[in-house]
Amino acid sequence: MAGFKGMGGGMGGNMNQMIKQAQKLQEDMARAQEELQNKTVDASSGGGMVQVVVSGKMELVEMKINPEAIDPEDVEMLEDLVKAAVNEGLRKAQEMAGNEMGKLTGGLKIPGLF
């Protein structure tokens, strides 16, 4: 029985260490998410006719439309250019977030995180 008690004590130590590691990972991830809010990616469409900046929070923070892209006779083209630029910006921002969080998790995909 003495061996069993010793084994249980060792497992408790490992559990405490695992909890501390999980808490540190959680803190590091929260810090990384805060840093992502300040990072941005650029994307464009139509050869630069529409340019966007998207934050790591997946928010559109800036958009520039070249006046040459504005054709009152072809509003659909401008809508398509805006949609393409925004979607590309969101894709790049998700990739950036995944890369940043992947550094912390060692590539482990955690559902709902990124």
**For position 1, what pLDDT does the model report?**
47
User: Which residues touch 4 (CB under 8 Å, ≥6 apart)?
Assistant: none
Is residue 71 within 8 A of residue 78, CB to CB? The reply is yes
Rounded to two decimals, the pTM is 0.68
**For position 113, what pLDDT does the model report?**
52
Which parts of the chain register pLDDT below 70? 1-12, 105-114
